[in-house]
Amino acid sequence: MKLTGPFKQIVTLAHLPLRGKISDDQLEIVENGGIITDNGKIVDIGTFETLLSAIEKNATPCAIEFIEDEQICLPAFTDSHTHICFGGNRAKDFAMRNAGKTYLEIAESGGGIWSSVQHTRNASEDELLATLLERIQFLLNLGITTIEIKSGYGLDVENELKMLRAIKKAQTKTPATLVPTCLSAHLKPKDFYGTNREYLDFIVNEILPKVKEENLANRVDIFIEKSAFQPEESKEFLLKAKDLGFEITVHADQFTPGSSRIAVEVGAKSADHLEATIDEDIAFIAHSDTVATALPGASLGLGEKFTPARKILDAGGILAIASDWNPGSAPMGNLITQCAVLATYQKLSTAEVLAGITFRAAFALGLEDRGKLEKGMKADFVTFATDDFQNILYHQGSLKASHTFINGQKI
């Protein structure tokens, strides 16, 4: 057992609702607090002096980790949507897009998702693993300890499995929790000579059984969009994946509306993007248990409008916020900066943002054991060298995390 503290503030996020809007005055803040952990779980939270006195009075065997400088403490963050296993670089795409080139023009010049597919196919599993671990460390340094990671730049049996194997191997080399997702349905590859439906059947018959056999992922994703897969064929695919025992998530409503309804209808854990979601579909998703995941990094990378996060929360929806870190449309990777920008444009309270990158994001991944600092929860937390938690978003990502703890241990 170990007591860690004292912290200037502990923002526990305890007792906050899973869905709907949250005001900052609903936040539980423990001043001069401490956290007792044991076997990776939180045992107790309170003022440091009260906890220390109880330990001394009862002669409880307990290590003490003193925090010497002024720190505030929060639950560690979850990034519930990333594409950080990839090869190559698409800086040229970004420059061309900013110069006014269209998606088609960029693709015709050798850019776009297919460029990342070629680079990823050309990379060895060890090369993918090395760069993946570097990106995981970047996220750990931000205080993100739970990270979803998609395949989707292989788009054939060999290379999709190579990506997922690299992710599985990375889990043995990092204390972070990695959640792999099979996104073989990112788009139909140029070297598959058949229809969209035939490619989706190829995934169901040839890729997903091997993913299941090697225990490489329990989640399946698809990009539903005019440039990728159409609604009805996507729904059929998702239901088949669900029948195989996979959880479902969906890239929905990024450029055109409608696919978020499919996510709800098939019981998806989350519908991610939603920049193009219309009001009647906001109400539809808000009354479901499907998490609406905003990806402000994609809006910034593409110059598109933001997910209507305010409307989703006001309608009673479950809102998560994730980085979408990928080599093309969202190359930043800094979730805190993205959250600060989204909060500014969508008028989100600090409490709503923190919920969106902690317990609500974890819920989107089926992980309800983390994201709040309360008894029995996973002891993942992050500290910042400041005297007030509001400074984290105020500094828009320039205030860096000081220490990240996983299972109560500083990493």
DSSP string covering 244-280, please? Answer: TT-EEEEEESSSSSSHHHHHHHTT-SEEEE-TT--HH
d(CA 335, CA 108): 31
Q: Is the CB of residue 136 less than 8 Å from the CB of residue 147?
A: yes
Range in 37-51, 90-104, 198-212, 388-402 with the lowest mean pLDDT? 90-104
Residue 108 reports pLDDT greater than 80: no
- Residue 33's pLDDT band (cuts 50, 70, 90): very high
Residue 106 reports pLDDT greater than 90: no
CATH code of the region 77-364: 3.20.20.140
d(CA 18, CA 309): 15
Q: Please write the tens of the pLDDT for every residue from 255-291.
A: 999 999 999 999 999 999 999 999 999 999 999 999 9
- Closest listed residue to residue 324, CA positions, set 191, 119, 181: 181
pLDDT at 68: 85
Q: Where are the domains of the chain?
A: 2-76+371-410, 77-364
Instruction: Give me the residue label for tokens 């050798």.
Output: 110
- Token pair for 133: 């671990």
Residue bearing the bigger pLDDT, 271 or 62? 271
Question: Who contacts 40 (Cβ-Cβ below 8 Å, separation ≥6)?
Answer: 378, 379, 407, 408
Residue 347 reports pLDDT greater than 90: yes
Q: In angstroms, what CA-CA distances link 114 with 117, 122, 347?
A: 5, 12, 36
pLDDT at 46: 96
Q: Please write the tens of the pLDDT for every residue from 289-320.
A: 999 999 999 999 999 999 999 999 999 999 99
- Token pair for 10: 């502990």
Phi, psi at 327, each rounded to 5°: -75, -10
Residue 91 reports pLDDT greater than 90: no
- Residue 401's pLDDT band (cuts 50, 70, 90): very high
Range in 79-83, 145-149, 224-228, 359-363 with the lowest mean pLDDT? 224-228
43 Rama sector, left if φ>0, alpha if ψ -120 to 50, beta otherwise: alpha
pLDDT at 7: 97
pLDDT at 3: 95
Length of the chain, in residues: 411
Other CB atoms within 10 Å distance of the CB of residue 2: 15
Residue 107 reports pLDDT greater than 90: no
d(CA 270, CA 222): 12
CATH 2.30.40.10 fits 2-76+371-410, yes or no: yes
Residue 103 reports pLDDT greater than 80: no
d(CA 372, CA 13): 5
- Closest listed residue to residue 371, CA positions, set 5, 18, 1, 7: 18
Residue 102 reports pLDDT greater than 90: no
d(CA 354, CA 169): 30
Q: Is the CB of residue 334 less than 8 Å from the CB of residue 396?
A: no
Residue 333 reports pLDDT greater than 80: yes
Other CB atoms within 10 Å distance of the CB of residue 403: 16
Mean pLDDT of the chain: 96
Q: Do domains 2-76+371-410 and 77-364 have the same CATH topology?
A: no
d(CA 85, CA 317): 30
0.75 cut: is pTM over it?
A: yes
Task: Please report, in angstroms and rounded to a whole number, the separation of the first and last CA atoms in the chain.
Answer: 17
pLDDT at 291: 98
